């Protein structure tokens, strides 16, 4: 979040607003959006600069404010911001406190970095490990083992169930040896189906297509073999 934003008062004329933008906007991070605020700093609306440029100089700023805007709270999860930027086709979002007073501006360039980090974490989870906090080339070996070992243990236990099942049908395998040729095919098919299902679900979660609490419903609706 940046504190370098431009705000204008609702009772000003467009001419006054443009003068203020020229005076204070030179070193601001973005001028795509200008925030209309009350005297106490409460946000009314955010307006694209082109609306000021196309409006009559004597028109009031209030006439340009529709009051239909999207904002973020400082306590919101950072994954929420890219979704709102994408949904409402915005390049910046105002951040307000509990009294709707603006305290900063979140720009799309900052959110691109967040999106890259989240996408990297999702891909690492697809590979069967916890999300790494830093590049794998600089991550300490002990931390790398810690983040990967838990999933490897889970997979190892799952493979033990497979071996147990094979031992249960040992007699049938001895009678028809050709059945053993299909074992690696079945294991490979199960792994591929599981990878597909994990990819679809994790990517859907990353895009916000459904909340995590609906995971069981999604599993019933689209099992790995579907």
Contact present, 168 and 160 (Cβ < 8 Å) = no
Residue 194 CA to residue 188 CA, distance in Å, equals 10
Give pLDDT, residue 160.
79
Residue whose pair of structure tokens reads 């069967």 in the numeric block: 128
User: Does residue 1 sit within a domain?
Assistant: no
User: Does residue 226 sit within a domain?
Assistant: no
* Among candidate residues 56, 85, 113, the one where a domain is terminated: 113
Among left, alpha and beta (phi > 0; psi -120 to 50; other), residue 67 is left
Contact present, 52 and 30 (Cβ < 8 Å) = no
178 burial (CB, 10 Å; 0-12 / 13-18 / 19+) is exposed
* Among candidate residues 46, 78, 113, the one where a domain is terminated: 113
User: Does residue 2 sit within a domain?
Assistant: no
Identify whether residues 102 and 130 lie together within a single domain.
no
Residue 176 CA to residue 9 CA, distance in Å, equals 85
Identify whether residues 11 and 50 lie together within a single domain.
yes
Number of domains in the chain: 2
* Among candidate residues 59, 83, 113, the one where a domain is terminated: 113
Q: Which residue range(s) make up the domain with 135?
A: 117-221
- Residue 150's φ and ψ, nearest 5 degrees, are -60, -45
224 burial (CB, 10 Å; 0-12 / 13-18 / 19+) is middle
Vertex 97 angle, CA 93 and 103, to 5° = 55
pLDDT average per 10 residues of sequence, the chain (226 residues)? 83 90 79 81 84 89 82 84 81 86 84 76 70 69 75 78 76 73 76 76 72 70 50
Give pLDDT, residue 15.
92
The pair of structure tokens assigned to 19 is 């003068």
- Which residues on adjacent β-strands are paired with residue 72? 95
Of 33, 49, 43, 34, give the one whose Cα is nearest residue 71.
43
Give pLDDT, residue 215.
67
pTM: 0.55
Question: What CATH number does residue 89 fall under?
Answer: 3.10.580.10
The secondary structure of 9-44 as a DSSP string is ETTSBHHHHHHHHHHH-TT-S--SEEEEE-TT-BEE
């Amino acid at each position: 979040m940046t504190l370098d934003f431009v705000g204008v008062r609702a009772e000003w004329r467009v001419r006054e607003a443009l003068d203020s933008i020229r005076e204070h906007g030179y070193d601001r991070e973005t001028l795509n959006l200008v925030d209309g605020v009350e005297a106490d700093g409460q946000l009314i609306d955010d307006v694209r600069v082109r609306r000021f440029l196309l409006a009559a100089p004597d028109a009031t700023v209030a006439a340009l404010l529709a009051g239909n805007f999207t904002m973020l709270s400082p306590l919101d999860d950072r994954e929420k911001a890219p979704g709102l930027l994408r949904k409402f086709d915005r390049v910046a979002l105002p951040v307000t406190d509990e009294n709707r007073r603006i305290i900063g501006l979140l720009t799309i360039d900052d959110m691109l970095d967040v999106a890259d980090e989240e996408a990297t974490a999702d891909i690492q989870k697809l590979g069967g490990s916890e999300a790494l906090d830093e590049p794998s080339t600089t991550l300490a070996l002990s931390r790398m083992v810690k983040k990967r070992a838990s999933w490897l243990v889970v997979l190892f236990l799952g493979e033990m169930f497979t071996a147990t099942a094979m031992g249960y049908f040992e007699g049938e395998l001895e009678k028809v040896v050709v059945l053993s040729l299909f074992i690696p095919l079945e294991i490979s098919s199960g792994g591929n189906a599981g990878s597909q299902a994990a990819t679809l679900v994790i990517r859907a979660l990353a895009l916000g297509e459904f909340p995590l609490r609906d995971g069981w419903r999604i599993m019933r609706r689209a099992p790995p073999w579907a």
